């Protein structure tokens, strides 16, 4: 299904007057509006191929209706999102959940929706049917070299799939670790993992990056072999200039100061991948901005400041991706909400008066520093984000249009109500 351009135009027309009035109000708050709108128009967040179906929990999975049945339909779904918001212009594949059969046809299909392929993700946290050796006790860390070699070969295979599609990065997230004290030797697990990553690193095309993603716990509950940003940074530094740390917002221990982590990784030139989601307890993978939007804003403030300090391009120098998936909402509605939350936090961060904040910091004016941040956070930037969409030919209110044209019903009519997308 594709959303007809005239549907978008009609929708925008009907909301135009209200939008103008709202935009006018924000323009009174800042003289940066035009620059912010331009940056918002350039900004894109990749959609993970595994978030287009309803996610399960370990207790069950309640498939939604009209879920994409194959990679082609997943691309079509991301195309819908991108048509609605102009900010979802790429898709991130998880292998082997989504193995492309015909690269040229898949590239053409994606191109017809204005989409490209973001980082590819390897999967050595599950055993696949017919796989000779099990990952039950880890993959790249495994005590048995043959298991490590199998996991290395899989990662190299993933690079090849990604290369054929035009991806430029491999994300390695490992479930490796231990669930009981004494189960493994920490140093050996680290050394095996590093040695395995070194082989994969050597297989990277020269213009590729490797993202080493950390996670504090789950599925292992005593130790994770890439458990925090310090460990990820150790691997990335030892591997070389093409290796970086990836921050997934849900992968920290409770109350971690993620904005400080982001700031220091950027300072070291070692942050390159980002997974957005929200959580209250652990790796909850909830809709971005649904639990703690202020924290999201603070993280974006550090991202903007840290990227500017290094002269980085906000839109292209970091791999921005949503990594959320849950079992209640329509996945496409959920993703529209996540992208919106990201754009809002980004716009708020761009609104921060960096020069005034610097003065406040140099004067130890704590009250004023807080005022400056909250002034930006409390400004209603929704009209700026909507204006960026309007100018790009997307919808003023993506979710509203999605519902008005009954996208899900059309997908159910096309695909049926008993479809199950591959993924978690
Ligand atoms: C992990 C991690 C990875 C994602 C898998 C599905 O917790 O966030 O990025 O690929 O889940
Ligand atoms: Mn992740
Ligand atoms: Mn996760």
**Nearest alpha carbon, ligand 1 atom 1:** 173
**Nearest alpha carbon, ligand 1 atom 2:** 173
CA distance 248 to 274: 6
Per-residue tens of pLDDT for the chain, all 424 residues? 899 999 999 999 999 999 999 999 999 989 999 999 999 999 999 999 999 998 888 888 888 899 999 999 999 999 999 999 999 999 999 999 999 999 999 999 999 999 999 999 999 999 999 999 999 999 999 999 999 999 999 999 999 999 999 999 999 999 999 999 999 999 999 999 999 999 999 999 999 999 999 999 999 999 999 999 999 999 999 999 999 999 999 999 999 999 999 999 999 999 999 999 999 999 999 999 999 999 999 999 999 999 999 999 999 999 999 999 878 999 999 999 999 999 999 999 999 999 999 999 999 999 999 999 999 999 999 999 999 999 999 999 999 999 999 999 999 999 999 888 877 7
Pocket of ligand 1 (CB under 6 A): 94, 121, 173, 213, 215, 248, 275, 283, 323, 424
Query: What's the CA dihedral at 121, 122, 124, 129 to 10 degrees?
Result: 110
| Residue 321: half-sphere exposure toward Cβ, Cα within 13 Å | 32
Prediction pTM value: 0.97
Strand arrangement of the beta sheet that strand 169-173 belongs to: 116-117, 90-92, 46-48, 319-322, 271-276, 243-248, 209-213, 169-173, 120-121
Residues with CB in 5 Å of ion ligand 2: 248, 275, 323
Q: Please state whether beta strands 177-178 and 120-121 pair in parallel, antiparallel, or not at all (unpaired).
A: unpaired
CA distance 283 to 268: 26
Measured in Å, residue 289 CA sits from the centre of ligand 1 at: 18
- Beta bridge pairs of residue 178: 223
**Nearest alpha carbon, ligand 1 atom 5:** 173
Measured in Å, residue 211 CA sits from the centre of ligand 2 at: 11
Ligand nearest to the CA of 252: 3
Measured in Å, residue 245 CA sits from the centre of ligand 1 at: 14
Ligand nearest to the CA of 424: 1
């Amino acid at each position: 299904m594709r959303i007809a351009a005239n549907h978008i135009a009609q929708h925008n027309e009907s909301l135009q007057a209200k939008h103008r009035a709202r935009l006018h109000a924000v323009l009174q708050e800042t003289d940066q509006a035009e620059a912010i709108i331009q940056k918002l128009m350039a900004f894109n967040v990749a959609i993970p191929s595994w978030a287009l179906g309803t996610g399960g929990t370990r207790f069950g999975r309640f498939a939604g209706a009209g879920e994409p049945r194959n990679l082609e339909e997943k691309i079509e779904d991301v195309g819908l999102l991108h048509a609605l918001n102009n900010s979802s212009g790429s898709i991130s594949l998880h292998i082997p959940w989504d193995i492309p059969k015909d690269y040229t046809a898949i590239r053409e299909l994606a191109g017809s929706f204005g989409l490209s392929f973001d980082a590819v993700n390897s999967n050595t946290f599950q055993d696949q049917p017919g796989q000779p050796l099990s990952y039950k006790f880890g993959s790249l860390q495994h005590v048995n070299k043959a298991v490590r070699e199998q996991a290395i070969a899989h990662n190299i295979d993933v690079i090849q799939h990604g290369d054929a599609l035009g991806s430029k990065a491999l994300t390695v997230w490992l479930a490796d670790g231990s669930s009981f004290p004494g189960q493994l030797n920490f140093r050996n697990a680290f050394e095996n993992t590093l040695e395995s990553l070194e082989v994969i690193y050597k297989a990277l095309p020269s213009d590729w990056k490797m993202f080493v993603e950390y996670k504090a716990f789950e599925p292992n509950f005593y130790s994770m072999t890439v458990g925090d940003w310090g460990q990820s940074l150790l691997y990335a530094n030892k591997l070389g200039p093409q290796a970086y740390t990836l921050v997934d917002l849900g992968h920290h221990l409770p109350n971690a100061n993620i904005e400080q982590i982001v700031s220091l990784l950027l300072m070291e030139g070692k942050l390159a991948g980002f997974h957005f989601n929200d959580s209250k307890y652990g790796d909850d993978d909830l809709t971005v901005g649904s639990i703690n939007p202020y924290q999201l804003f603070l993280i974006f403030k550090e991202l903007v400041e840290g990227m500017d300090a290094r002269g980085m391009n906000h839109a292209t120098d970091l791999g921005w991706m949503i990594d959320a998936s849950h079992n209640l909402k329509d996945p496409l509605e959920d993703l529209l909400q996540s992208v919106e939350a990201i754009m809002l936090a980004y716009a708020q961060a761009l609104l921060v008066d960096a020069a005034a904040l610097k003065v406040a910091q140099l004067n130890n004016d704590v009250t004023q520093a807080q005022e400056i941040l909250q002034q930006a956070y409390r400004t209603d930037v929704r009209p700026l984000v909507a204006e960026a969409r309007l100018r790009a030919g997307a919808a003023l209110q993506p979710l509203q249009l999605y519902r008005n044209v009954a996208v899900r019903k059309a997908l159910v009519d096309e695909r049926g109500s008993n479809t199950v997308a591959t993924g978690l």
